[in-house]
Amino acid sequence: MSKPLLIVESPTKVKTLKKYLGNDYNVAATAGHIKDLPQKELGIDIENNFKAEYLNIKGKSKVIQDLKSAAGATDTVYLAPDPDREGEAIAFHAAEILKKKGRKFYRVLIHELTKKGIAEALSNPTELNADKYEAQQTRRTLDRLVGYLISPLLWRRVQGSLSAGRVQSVAVKIICDREREIRAFISEEYWTITADLLAEVPPIFSAALVRHKGRKINIPNEKKASQIIKELESSDFTVDKITIKTLNKNPLPPFITSKLQQDAINRLKFSAKKTMSVAQQLYEGIEIGTGGPEGLITYMRTDSTRIAAEAANEALMLIKDKFGAEYAMDKPRFFKNKNNAQDAHEAIRPTSVFNTPGKVQPYLTQDQFKLYDLIWKRFVASQMSPAVIDQKNVAIAAGEYTFNVGGNTIKFQGFMALYSYADDKPDNDDKSGGKDEEGSSGNGEKSGEKERQVIPELEEGMKLDANKIIPMQHFTKPPPRFSEASLVKELEENGIGRPSTYATILSTIRDKGYVDLVKKYFVPNELGFIVNELLVASFPEILDAAFTAQMENNLDNIESGSRKFLEVLNDFYAPFKVRLSNATENMLNVKGVGIPTDLKCPLCGRQINIKIGKNGHFIACTGYPECSFSSNYTRDEKGNIQIHENIASSDLTPVKDCDKCGKPMVKKEGRYGEFLACTGYPECKNTESLYAIEPVKSTDIHCPIQGCTGMIVSKKSRRGKDFYGCDKYPDCDFASWDKPVNKACHKCSSPYLVEKETKKDGLLLACPVKGCDYKETR
């Protein structure tokens, strides 16, 4: 009797599974999806209830043949792709390919690649989940309809190769909307005042002015600040009230996908994509000296904080042994899921807490260790005792004014001995002033005190000496741009996408050229703004965050069996079809008419529009062809258009006369930089390199070509790069990017050497002949 076949998604898992299953099973991998919609056509029969045409993926023929060979004559196939919607689709497609009379298929959900996890999964096989498969198919159909029906409009109206996406376009809109907020922001001046105070005993400490006559103070300008300081200089400073609270601070739950990505971005400086790639490696199995690969973490695509009681109890055992009984809870701590959490998988945790970071570090790469260390600490900390913190707040009276100083003292570290909240906060530039993840917002006032300052023993009624009163000017700041971490958080909070899609969304919007990552923050470029405006005007629902979130809920409902896929698709397509028809007729043509601006042409006074050509975006006069003015442009920090052209009085500055028609030639800027263009365009289309008019620079080097009597000169290429050529050109075509030197090669008899400069060797002479490695110091 043939052995049963176990099919997984990733080839990496095969070795891990064989370690535990031995020769009892054949194990094979699909290497991802094996079927998909056709690449060059829609592949959806809309009129036939959105029937999808799935084809074997090109290049997967060998994989499919290997699966059939591995199945052989077996009558039992266990389908164990990843336990999510995409995995379910792979399982269904594998079953379709291997379908055979008398052969039975079972779905196996492996949440952790350990001996115990694999045994439990194989002991509890289920049927293929038709609802989960329909949810994946519905998502794929929606994405195909949006992408394949809207994208051609962008090709015709904007430029080729552009694309629209059901989720990616919403993410771009979020980034564009934030950039508009930043551009529209008007900074306002405000002042703060702090006092350096001295009690009966040192040290001096700082307190911040927070109230006037019991109301929160606002100091708008220097005049008001000076007035307040004058009053304070004649006031007595007295300790008015001391408040001490003891707080119990609980740990965060174990990671879900979005929180893992945010934490890895902030703490480890990983990208979301890198985080998921490394997590996949830890899940699929790594050799740690146990005789074969072993999965180190549970499945990494989850929005559930649920954990197995057995894992929690194991953590409590380790905590008692490693930290002491006082650091462990009396019983496991469990966390409540959010309302829309799927709860199909546990939270991300180590498969065994006894695989401590120190124990496995020798077997892991640096990146694997960093991420595993983060996951391990977060999970173990979630089962540790609360931290006990004394929070001290001192109110200091100075006439009608109140100063405030506060500080925290940790009485008992609890979980903070392993995992500190302080490390969990994002970079300073990414803070928006809201509450942090654990819901704490401090004392609710700007205390202004120096970090970690020591406050002397104080008593109510105690007099204080004002050593110095310090005013400081500030300006309000616009909302921050999105980093990868804050964009993931924004998508999660708005219900856009799902844990498995965040990393892909962030990669896609960059790859499509709509946004740039500048100093780790997303900035929409001009193409992103243009495409976003067109899509918002033509498809407002598609780009609405609430609509997209509701569609995600619909997919969840299909998976749970509470909605039918055809109902969801019909509800979506009916209004979408109307929008698509209107857009086909009315979407603005940026290639032709262009986007109107409020600028006037410097040559004729007509309106200037934004257009897109083969070299990118530019502005052009609407009076074309009577007026041929066009220019590249940028935008200032407020979004105002800045024209690049050099305008002299009412005309472009002539550089030379055209060799073909005699009309003036002017500087223009194209894909490769500045060039000369004839003002007689379009009748005369003559262009020249800007550098062709620059004089060549002579050298004292003779042309190395045998028989040539020319001298080497320094020239500029069409793109402005320096090179060296013979002044007898075109009779002699010698050219070199490197400066020639009249010195023969001692190894191959080349008549000349060239100057090279490297970081390692500095300036040297090298032979230009291919295959000759001769070089000498200069």
> Residue 717 has what pLDDT?
72
Average pLDDT in the 701-717 region? Answer: 84
Tens-digit pLDDT profile for residues 57-68:
999 999 999 999
User: What is the 8-class DSSP label of residue 615?
Assistant: T
Residue 119 has pLDDT above 80, yes or no: yes
Residue 130 has pLDDT above 80, yes or no: yes
> Residue 122 has what pLDDT?
95
**Residue 418 identity:** L
Contact 650, 624 (CB under 8 A): no
> Residue 341 has what pLDDT?
54
**DSSP strand pairing (76-79 vs 55-56):** unpaired
Residue 429 has pLDDT above 60, yes or no: no
**DSSP strand pairing (633-635 vs 711-716):** unpaired
Asked about 419 being catalytic, the answer comes back as no
> Residue 645 has what pLDDT?
57
Q: Count the neighbouring beta carbons within 10 Å of the beta carbon of residue 112.
A: 25
pLDDT band, residue 179 (cuts 50/70/90): very high
> Residue 540 has what pLDDT?
94
Average pLDDT in the 283-289 region? Answer: 92
Which of helix, strand or coil describes residue 469?
Answer: strand
Average pLDDT in the 363-390 region? Answer: 96
- Distance, in Å, from the CA atom of 627 to the CA atom of 605, rounded to the nearest integer, reads 10
Which of 67-81, 317-331, 744-758 has the lowest average pLDDT? 744-758
> Residue 721 has what pLDDT?
76
Residue 142 has pLDDT above 90, yes or no: yes
pLDDT band, residue 759 (cuts 50/70/90): low
- Distance, in Å, from the CA atom of 625 to the CA atom of 207, rounded to the nearest integer, reads 69
Instruction: Identify which has the larger pLDDT, 454 or 296.
Output: 296
- Distance, in Å, from the CA atom of 319 to the CA atom of 626, rounded to the nearest integer, reads 81
Specify the length of the chain in residues: 778
What strands lie across the sheet with 104-107, from one edge to the other? 26-29, 5-8, 76-79, 104-107
Tens-digit pLDDT profile for residues 597-641:
999 998 899 999 999 987 788 999 999 888 888 888 889 989 999
CA atoms within 13 A on the CB side of 458: 31
Which of 92-96, 163-167, 729-733 has the lowest average pLDDT? 729-733
- Distance, in Å, from the CA atom of 448 to the CA atom of 393, rounded to the nearest integer, reads 13
- Dihedral sign for Cα 535, 539, 542, 543, please: positive
Average pLDDT in the 89-103 region? Answer: 95
Nearest to 516 by CA among 529, 503, 504: 529
Residue 440 has pLDDT above 80, yes or no: no
> Residue 320 has what pLDDT?
96
Nearest to 540 by CA among 169, 158, 154: 169
- Distance, in Å, from the CA atom of 348 to the CA atom of 244, rounded to the nearest integer, reads 37
pLDDT band, residue 1 (cuts 50/70/90): low
**Whether residue 625 has a cis bond before it, omega within 30° of 0:** yes
Average pLDDT in the 741-767 region? Answer: 82
Mean pLDDT computed over every residue of the chain: 88
Which of helix, strand or coil describes residue 579?
Answer: helix
Residue 431 has pLDDT above 90, yes or no: no
Tens-digit pLDDT profile for residues 323-350:
999 999 999 999 987 755 555 678 999 9
Contact 656, 675 (CB under 8 A): no
Which of helix, strand or coil describes residue 350?
Answer: strand
Contact 167, 548 (CB under 8 A): yes
Q: How close are the terminal C-alpha atoms of the chain, in Å? A: 77
Tokens coding 137? 């198919």
362-365 long-range Cβ contacts below 8 angstroms, 24+ apart: 363/286, 363/287, 363/288, 363/289, 364/286
pLDDT band, residue 529 (cuts 50/70/90): very high
pTM of the model as a whole: 0.77
pLDDT band, residue 672 (cuts 50/70/90): low
Annotated catalytic residue, options 299, 401, 419, 633 = 299
> Residue 747 has what pLDDT?
84
Whose structure tokens read 């001009």?
526
- Distance, in Å, from the CA atom of 691 to the CA atom of 656, rounded to the nearest integer, reads 13
- Distance, in Å, from the CA atom of 234 to the CA atom of 660, rounded to the nearest integer, reads 84
Instruction: Identify which has the larger pLDDT, 165 or 647.
Output: 165
Whose structure tokens read 């307190």?
207
- Distance, in Å, from the CA atom of 257 to the CA atom of 500, rounded to the nearest integer, reads 8
CA angle 347, 17, 310 (to 5 degrees): 35
pLDDT band, residue 647 (cuts 50/70/90): very low
> Residue 282 has what pLDDT?
95
Tokens coding 463? 């007099």
Which of 109-118, 141-150, 245-254, 561-570 has the lowest average pLDDT? 109-118
Average pLDDT in the 713-727 region? Answer: 78
Nearest to 668 by CA among 687, 684, 685, 682: 687
For residue 397, list its beta bridge partners: 238, 402
Residue 428 has pLDDT above 70, yes or no: no
pLDDT band, residue 694 (cuts 50/70/90): low
Residue 352 has pLDDT above 70, yes or no: yes
pLDDT band, residue 276 (cuts 50/70/90): very high
- Distance, in Å, from the CA atom of 585 to the CA atom of 322, rounded to the nearest integer, reads 70
In the 3-class helix/strand/coil scheme, how is 7-62 assigned residue by residue? EECCHHHHHHHHHHHCCCCEEEECCCCCEECCCCCCCEEHHHCCEECCEECCCCHH
Tokens coding 235? 């006031």
In the 3-class helix/strand/coil scheme, how is 54-121 assigned residue by residue? CEECCCCHHHHHHHHHHHCCCCEEEECCCCCHHHHHHHHHHHHHHCCCCCEEEECCCCCCCHHHHHHH
Average pLDDT in the 408-428 region? Answer: 74
Phi, psi torsion values for 68, nearest 5 degrees:
-65, -40
For residue 287, list its beta bridge partners: 293
Average pLDDT in the 4-26 region? Answer: 91
In the 3-class helix/strand/coil scheme, how is 224-236 assigned residue by residue? HHHHHHHHHHCCC
> Residue 643 has what pLDDT?
87
**Whether residue 730 has a cis bond before it, omega within 30° of 0:** yes
Contact 188, 466 (CB under 8 A): no
> Residue 650 has what pLDDT?
39
> Residue 214 has what pLDDT?
92
Tens-digit pLDDT profile for residues 288-301:
988 888 999 999 98
Tens-digit pLDDT profile for residues 187-196:
999 999 999 9
Tokens coding 354? 């006894």
Residue 517 has pLDDT above 80, yes or no: yes
Residue 738 has pLDDT above 70, yes or no: yes
> Residue 774 has what pLDDT?
87
Residue 372 has pLDDT above 50, yes or no: yes
Whose structure tokens read 């005042």?
193
> Residue 500 has what pLDDT?
78
Tens-digit pLDDT profile for residues 629-646:
888 888 998 999 988 754
Average pLDDT in the 526-535 region? Answer: 94
> Residue 426 has what pLDDT?
43
- Distance, in Å, from the CA atom of 699 to the CA atom of 741, rounded to the nearest integer, reads 10
Average pLDDT in the 205-222 region? Answer: 95
- Distance, in Å, from the CA atom of 738 to the CA atom of 723, rounded to the nearest integer, reads 7
Which of 20-24, 182-186, 326-330, 702-706 has the lowest average pLDDT? 702-706
> Residue 432 has what pLDDT?
40
User: What is the 8-class DSSP label of residue 268?
Assistant: I
Residue 755 has pLDDT above 70, yes or no: yes
Q: At what angle do helices 484-493 and 168-184 cross, to 10 degrees?
A: 110
Nearest to 113 by CA among 78, 70, 83: 83
DSSP string, 417-461: GT--GGGGSPPGGG--SS--TTS--TTSS---PPTTPPPPP--TT
Residue 236 has pLDDT above 80, yes or no: yes
Contact 203, 511 (CB under 8 A): no
Spatial neighbors of 477 by CB under 8 A, at least 6 apart, are: 187
Tens-digit pLDDT profile for residues 472-507:
999 999 999 999 999 999 999 998 988 778 888 999
Tens-digit pLDDT profile for residues 655-668:
888 889 989 888 77
